[in-house]
Amino acid sequence: MTNAAKSPNQGQSAPQEWRRQPSPDERSDAGRAARKAVPRSELADIGPADDRDPVGILLAQGEGRVQDLLPIRYGRMVASPFAFYRGAAAVMASDIGATASSGLRSQLCGDAHLSNFGLFASPERRMVFDVNDFDETLPGPFEWDVKRLAASMVIAARQNGVSTSDATDIARASCQSYRESMIDLAGRTDLAVWYQRIDIENVLANPEIKLSKRGRERLSKNIAKARTKDSEQVFAKIGSAAGGRPHIVANPPLIVPLKDVTHIDPDEMQTRIQKVIEDYAKTLVSDRRVLLGRYEMVDFAMKVVGVGSVGTRCWITLMLGRDETDVLFLQVKEASASVLEPYAGKSSYRTAGARVVAGQRLMQASSDIFLGSDRIVGGDGKPRDYYLRQLKDWKGSADVERMSRKTLKQYGQFCGITLARAHARSGDRIAMAAYLGKGDSFDRALARFATDYAARNAKDHAALDEAIDEGRVVASKGI
């Protein structure tokens, strides 16, 4: 066989003119060129301090939300610097959007702080660990997500009494795990990257994973607890069969049944919602459409969720299957433009709900079987975008406030590994790995960014507290 006739599996050093894709060497060159254009040390910049109005950004973000719920949002955000950070993705986007970027883009979570990683069930009923919030997802410079994660590690660590130097080390370790994972992924095949996931039960069984005995015990308990968090558990907490008809129990202002939030005739609203479910079902894969068709919607309510999401329209719908014990709760959550759009560019999707669904499916190794989207005309006649998924499906999250320095460091490393895998599915992992490099320049730069940004976040939190005291912002605390 001549060289020209060799199989691609045999490899060859000569340029492969028959390939349309850039070669690995060309992709590595692109990453090194990006590093020369924007040195990794420049990623430590947190953006200009002049003319910043974090409270103004939050108030502007709230203009399209349910006004009666905004005091709950501000009350939750002012509870601590970390709570503020969770709700201030728009503030951080405005800061990092003004800084130099690598120019190497991937699908971003957009809000990759450490509490937006967690446990949930895969369609195969395995417990996996992954990114789990995509309200702000959008393509953009890959390091923006890493910055959001690194800063959250410092803020959480400082809140838990960890020294500044140790908190900086925790952030650096998270970035190191991200960098080393990306380098590893750069050497793998596309299919190998696509199929990779963190099966948390395999983590527990792997003696090479360095977890303390106490850490393994805590993780085992978290897995067991997460397995109880499903629609049946939700119904036990917020549902009732009193009166012979299963329904959602009111708990205003956190849970408000449909009949109490609209003046539209109940029968007409029931017809509208049924049409919403039917339209949304069209965005599902056909087999899941069949499964959803076995359930009947019996109740609908508005529900307050999260910290930063408070004020967006979020509904839950109670569905019944074979009998009254076969319950399914779907979450119907409003989606609007990503906070990254002014800095990373407009979404290419027709609706914000489609943007969220596409980003989640692209970044997660396993996504909820009922994940879909729809555009819905509300009772006020205005169309709004929504995405739908199960309310809970073995969902588990870390108890950040109770994490020790050692636990935070290990958790941050898991998050770094997970985020690298999520970015590698859509971005040029070979170019990103070349930009990151084998040295620790990237880790140190982002650790400096994280430490400086934590200090800025503390000032922004204090500014919200002051605005509440002055009456500029109305807050309802403790809800």
Give the tens place of pLDDT for each residue, 425-467.
999 999 999 999 999 999 999 999 999 999 999 999 999 999 9
Contacts for 386 with CB less than 8 Å, ≥ 6 apart: 313, 332, 333, 334, 335, 353, 373, 374, 375, 376
Looking at residue 317, the DSSP 8-state letter turns out to be E
Residue 268 confidence class, pLDDT cut points 50, 70, 90: confident
Give 384's strand partners: 376
Give the tens place of pLDDT for each residue, 188-231.
999 999 999 988 878 777 666 666 677 777 778 888 888 888 99
What is the rounded distance in angstroms from the CA atom of residue 418 to the CA atom of residue 207?
19
Task: Tell whether the torsion through CA atoms of 406, 408, 414 and 420 is positive or negative.
Answer: negative
The one-letter amino acid code at 326 reads D
- Give the per-residue pLDDT at 10: 47
Looking at residue 209, the DSSP 8-state letter turns out to be S
Give the tens place of pLDDT for each residue, 147-171.
999 999 999 999 999 999 999 999 9
Q: What is the DSSP string of 169-191?
A: HHHHHHHHHHHHHHHHHHTS-HH
50: nearest Cα among 111, 101, 93, 94: 94
Domain locations in the chain?
Answer: 21-227+396-470, 231-390
List the single range of 68-77, 180-189, 228-237 with lowest mean pLDDT. 228-237
CB atoms within 10 A of CB 478: 8
In the predicted model, is pLDDT for residue 359 greater than 70?
yes
Half-sphere exposure of 452 (CA within 13 A, CB side): 16
In the predicted model, is pLDDT for residue 14 greater than 60?
no
Give the tens place of pLDDT for each residue, 374-389.
998 876 778 999 999 9
Whole-structure pTM over 0.85, yes or no? Answer: yes
Average pLDDT, integer, range 299-305: 91
- Give the per-residue pLDDT at 12: 46
**Alpha carbon separation from 44 to 35, 40, 105, 447, 451 (Å, rounded):** 14, 8, 18, 8, 10
Block residue for tokens 């393509």: 139
